[in-house]
Amino acid sequence: MSAESPPLRYAARVLAAGACTLLALLPATGAPAQETGERRNPVQAVAEALDESRVYVDPAYESAFPVEEQERVAGAVDASGLDLHVVAVPLAEGDAWGGDAATLASVLHDRRGGGEGHYLVYDGLGGFHGADFASGGSGPAHYGALAASYGTEFDGSMLEQVDLAVETALSDDPRAAYDEALRAYEEAHPAPEDTGADQDATEPQDAVVVSDGDTEPGPGLPVWLWAVPALLLALVPAVLLWRRRAAGTAGRRAVPVAQHAAFDNADRAQLDSLVEQGEHDLIEVGERLSRLDTESTAGQRAHQGLRHALDARSAAATVHDRMAEEGATLPDAVGVLVLLDMAEDEIDAVSRGLRAVVRRRHCYANPLHGTRTKVTPWREFGGTRTIRVPLCDECARAVRDRVRPVVLPAEHEGETVPYYEVPAEDSVWAATGYGTLTDDLVQRIQRGAHRRSRS
């Protein structure tokens, strides 16, 4: 892949955006005490600013999105009548919205009173996240953000992406505009043909793709050149150790099991660890539910949230008990953790008195990759069909580069396959994508669908 390819240019933009965010945050550490008081509620500050204008841009981004351009975009949105808002603020782990654009949109929407609303939020990675809060509708912000990414080949400036995202959102058919942008991008960047060499390079090694170049090394290469692969191999354990430690802040540890590896080669100790984690979390969530005082919260919404939390926790306990009786499987162990996350989301909403649940979205390819995800188009290998599912950053980059991501494996009919390739009638996890494809995962388990799911 050349240095000028869109994915590499996009990666460079990610690094640049991260540096800008860091520089924007550094002055805050030395801020006077009186300024600290003014910054105690950044969510409220942004919400109040959106009451005055459709566009809010933090001063750190004003050079990329000048005030006069903000006013121009705000005027176009006002004239359209669509309740659309554009937000660009630095995002960082540990801030008021956890460094996540989707969470920021949800929290802002709730703080502003709920109802219908559409948000284009800068994600800090060189693109925008679109969130739509409306019953039905055409998803203008969602498709606007996607169209901006593909329309600028993941390489547009902030202003270029804002213009295209807003233009798409305000169009008569945002979905059609996005489809056209995606078609144009795929025509300009066709997927490589599925040759035998490509098949060997990508499918057996889903987690890692190594390119050796177009020619094989000749016998006359210097000896020192052969030391380079050895040096890289020596660095692999250090990189893996760093990633393992970092996983504690990014979500539960991923399981980088090769997609075609036999299940009996999987690390049994890790599976046992996941089962134990589920058992521990079942107890912890149960204690949180017992301490939850719904009498002091917002009436019907609190009782409804409590019931949903109890249902999700009960579904997790049902799957856990079934594993104790029939033996643990990786998909079931992961399912218990996902269900408990759903219960915790409901508990948090009740505890904070929120009108709506800010539900975390797990990575569709592998829920163990965590919940810092973004809805991403994923085109099937060797085909033309596309699904739109939440993916973590690593998996999103993989599917954009037409490389198979590190998926959650499952055993089906004696073979190890991606969990989502198990027939829906045989796996509740595949049928629902662990709750990312449908909203009735808990209800299906209550109806006994999990008893068929032994993948």
Percent of the chain, pLDDT > 90? 35
Say how many CA atoms lie within 13 Å of 417 toward its Cβ. Answer: 12
pLDDT digits (tens, 9 = 90+) for 334-376: 999 999 999 999 998 888 887 777 788 999 999 999 999 998 8
Confidence of residue 293 (pLDDT cuts 50, 70, 90): low
Provide the token pair at 29.
């550490």
Provide CB contacts within 8 A for 91, sequence distance 6+.
Answer: 21, 97, 99, 100, 101, 104, 122, 123, 124
Q: Enter the pTM of the model.
A: 0.46
User: What sign results for the dihedral spanned by CA atoms 146, 147, 149, 150?
Assistant: positive
Answer with the residue of higher pLDDT: 190 or 341: 341
Residue ranges of domains in the chain, CATH in brackets: 44-172 (3.10.310), 263-359+425-454 (no CATH), 361-407 (no CATH)
Beta bridge partners of 132: 118
Average pLDDT estimate for 417-432:
93
Euclidean distance between CA atoms 417 and 98, whole angstroms = 34
pLDDT digits (tens, 9 = 90+) for 379-392: 877 667 888 899 99
Task: Locate all alpha helices (DSSP H) within 61-204, ordered by sequence.
Answer: 67-80, 101-111, 140-151, 158-169, 174-188, 196-202
Answer with the residue of higher pLDDT: 259 or 360: 360
Q: Is 118 exposed, middle or buried (0-12, 13-18, 19+ CB in 10 A)?
A: buried
Percent of the chain, pLDDT > 70? 69
Provide the token pair at 335.
């399912």
pLDDT digits (tens, 9 = 90+) for 195-248: 444 443 333 333 333 333 333 344 444 444 444 444 444 444 444 434 433 443
Q: Is 389 exposed, middle or buried (0-12, 13-18, 19+ CB in 10 A)?
A: buried
Q: What is the pLDDT of residue 218?
A: 41
pLDDT digits (tens, 9 = 90+) for 26-71: 444 444 434 444 445 778 889 899 999 999 999 989 999 999 999 9
Euclidean distance between CA atoms 94 and 307, whole angstroms = 30
| DSSP class of 266 | S
Euclidean distance between CA atoms 13 and 171, whole angstroms = 28
Query: Does residue 140 contact residue 128 with C-beta atoms inside 8 Å?
Result: no
67 to each of 17, 25, 64, 71, 75, how far by Cα in Å? Answer: 20, 21, 10, 6, 12
